[in-house]
Amino acid sequence: MTFKGYQFKPKLWAWIVTAGLVVVFLELGKWQLSRAAERNERLAQLEQLSKEPVVNIPDSRIKLEDFLYRQVEVRGRYRSEFTIYLDNKTYKGRAGYHVLTPLQISNSKWHVMINRGWVPTEYDRSELPRVPVITGEVIITGTVVSPELKILELGEPDNSGIVWANFNLEHFQQQTNLAMQPIMIQQDDEVSNGLVRDWYKPESGASRNIGYAIQWFAFAITTIIIFLVLNVRRGNKKIQ
């Protein structure tokens, strides 16, 4: 092809490589956009669940998916002797713990793990911060989350004491022989008992996916531009 003294004669392999790359980049961009849409939809669902009426946790076995992110209420007694301090939790730049205590549901064998909130570490890490021991029957309100709380750690974590790096519900049940519901409740009662309950609010993360999509589309455009630049040549002028 010749236009105003310029020739465009790409080789077959150049067409194939360019077309292949452009298709791949466009598909990756579309996939990121679909992921962004899914994340926005999920966030909308979570916001809707948070606005629904408070649900009571029954005294029978439940499923996590039936209560996940729901606002719930449960009545029972704390089993403070089984309290766990979940390590490596920061709040406003300060190190601390999440305090986890199982609550035995009233008139039931079942227990539910309550994340009672955050407490700062002592200056001497060998000493644990004091947390109020609550006796008697209480009513706890909060949001249901997954009971599996993990951080990246090399090697097998030492969860033999009361300070744990990761929380695994099955491991906890094996150590305590408690019948545990497959959920955790992030307590949000107004009475803090000295614990901070400024819980992280999930974001959709869609903006990150949209950013990735823009990058993939930009790669597709760049590939086309490079293809054109490398294959356009000024035509040879005929000697008179």
Distance CA 192, CA 17 (A): 62
Q: How confident is the model at residue 31 (pLDDT cuts 50, 70, 90)?
A: very high
Q: Say if CB 180 and CB 172 are below 8 A apart.
A: yes
- pLDDT at position 200, please? 78
Burial status of residue 142 (CB atoms within 10 A of its CB: 0-12, 13-18, 19 or more): buried
- pLDDT at position 44, please? 83
- pLDDT at position 205, please? 76
Q: Is the pLDDT of residue 239 over 50?
A: no
Write the DSSP assignment of 49-109 as a string of letters.
HHHSPPEEPPSS---HHHHTT-EEEEEEEE-GGG-EEEEEEEETTEEEEEEEEEEEETTSS
Q: Please give the average per-residue pLDDT across 186-209, as a whole number.
A: 81
- Which tens digits make up the pLDDT trace of 135-169? 999 999 999 988 886 654 544 555 568 999 999 99
Q: Is the pLDDT of residue 117 over 80?
A: yes
Q: Please give the average per-residue pLDDT across 32-55, as a whole number.
A: 85
Q: How confident is the model at residue 122 (pLDDT cuts 50, 70, 90)?
A: confident
**DSSP 8-state assignment for residue 172:** H
Q: Say if CB 128 and CB 103 are below 8 A apart.
A: no
- pLDDT at position 103, please? 97
- pLDDT at position 175, please? 93
Least confident piece of the model among 4-8, 59-63, 80-84, 105-109: 4-8
Torsion angle of C-alpha atoms 49, 50, 54, 59, degrees rounded to 10: 70
Q: Please give the average per-residue pLDDT across 218-236, as a whole number.
A: 86
Q: How confident is the model at residue 118 (pLDDT cuts 50, 70, 90)?
A: very high
Average pLDDT of the chain is 87
Torsion angle of C-alpha atoms 114, 115, 116, 122, degrees rounded to 10: 140
- pLDDT at position 240, please? 43
- How is the chain split into domains, by residue range? 2-45+205-234, 54-187
What share of residues in the chain are helix, strand, coil (percent, to 5)? 35, 30, 35
Distance CA 62, CA 136 (A): 24
Q: Say if CB 185 and CB 72 are below 8 A apart.
A: yes
Which residue(s) pair with 126 in the sheet?
A: none
Q: How confident is the model at residue 3 (pLDDT cuts 50, 70, 90)?
A: low
Q: Output the six-digit token pair for 148.
A: 């599996």
- Which tens digits make up the pLDDT trace of 50-70? 778 889 999 889 999 889 888
pTM, entire model: 0.69
Q: Please give the average per-residue pLDDT across 13-23, as a whole number.
A: 93
